[in-house]
Amino acid sequence: MLEIVKPGLETSIQDFPGRVGYWNQGFPPSGPMDMWSFRLANLVVGNDEGAPGLEAQFMGPTIKFQRDSVIAMTGANMRPILDGQPIPMWESVAVGAGQTLLMGPAVAGARGYLAVAGGIDAPEWLGSASTFHKAGVGGLDGHAVRAGQVLPVKEAAGTPGRRVADRARPTFPGGKTWEIQAVRGPNDDWIDDAGHERFIETAWMLEARSDRTGYRLTGPDWTFTEKATNKAPEHGDFPSNIIDQGYPLGAVNLGGQTPIILMNDGPSMGGFICPYTVPSAGFWKLGQMKPNEYIKFREVSVGEAQKLRLALDETCTHDSIE
């Protein structure tokens, strides 16, 4: 049992891969934004990679353990402290009943993950325990955790003293710029050559108004092909308007002139073009970016993106735990 002393900033229960398969009813996948770190946190405490755990954003929670347990923290470094003593990240650590874990502000990365042996015992809804607060579903009560709440944990022994191999951990960039993959499409033919060049050359700044729904980027204006400027009126007034279409997860969605990357809790459909899509292997980076940092996009093919996905899957296995 985890007693939430302080909730941190929108700390929520998530599982992997989330609520997959319900786009057509308007439910997004949700799930952890940095799935790489999340899966490894589970594996190192001895859980299945997908077991429900906590995602903390920017500012971690304070948690009191009501019974002996084994935990691990991965992702953003929130300098975890157990009863006054710093404890390592990326390792499974035994905690005793009555001990208090303090996770602070993220000093590197943005989202920290806490896995507990057995996993948080949250009910599955549409096949997932992931919190989607806009619809009030998932987690314990459909929302971020609150002070005073007690999160039940499934019984499991867990093994302390194991660690995620150094080679298997994601590395955050030294500076403020993240290189993130992007695949052309589905609506790339609405952007002219100069627009495509600008997309790749620009360091796009992440706006503060970004969350699990979408990441808003600041950069130069877009330029369009005839497809965008000379079209049937039912598409809408702006060059980036298109007759409502479904959106891929990770789409770089062009609302007017502002690109918004559609994230785990994002909309399933709308009336704006998506000239690029961030592939699944690029998502963890988005999850670990902070506002006012920059993205440089690197164009990859669908095939390359699928290879990266496979490589990530191969990293998130027991072979990476030592």
Partner 1 sequence: MIYDEPRVLPGGDTFVLVQFGDDARIDLNFMALGLTAALREDRTKGVIDTNPSYNSVVVEYDPDLIGADDLAQELRRLIEGLGSVEDLELESRLAYLPVMYRDPWTKACVEDYAQRIAPRDGDPEFVARINGLEDAAQLARVHSGTEHWVVAVCSTPGLPLMVALDPRCAITSPKYNPPRTWTTLGAIGVGGLSTSIYTTPGPGGYNLIGRTPVPLWDTQARLPAYRDRVVLLDAADRVKFVPVELEEFEYIERRVADGTYAFNITGYQRFSVRAYKDWVASLDPSERF
Binding residues vs partner 1 (CB under 8 A):
20-27, 125-126, 134-137, 142, 183-187, 231-232, 234, 236-237, 243-251, 267-270, 274, 277-281, 302-303, 305-306, 308-310, 313
Nearer to partner 1, 72 or 261 (CB): 261
C-alpha–C-alpha distance, residues 83 and 100, integer Å: 5
Q: How far is the CB of 114 from partner 1 (least distance, A)?
A: 26
CB of 83 to partner 1, least distance (A): 39
Q: Shortest approach of partner 1 to residue 27 CB, angstroms?
A: 6
Nearer to partner 1, 38 or 247 (CB): 247
Q: How far is CA 145 from the centre of its chain?
A: 17
| Residue number with CB closer to partner 1 (20 or 87) | 20
How far is residue 82's CA from residue 219's CA, in Å, rounded to a whole number?
42
Q: How far is the CB of 281 from partner 1 (least distance, A)?
A: 7
The residue (of 58 and 238) whose beta carbon lies closer to partner 1 is: 238
- As measured in angstroms, the least distance from the Cβ of 22 to partner 1 is 7
Max Cα-Cα span within the chain: 67
Whose Cβ is closer to partner 1: residue 91's or residue 265's?
265
CB closer to partner 1, 136 vs 152? 136
Can you read off the two tokens belonging to residue 277?
A: 């899509």
What minimum distance in Å lies between the beta carbon of 212 and partner 1?
15
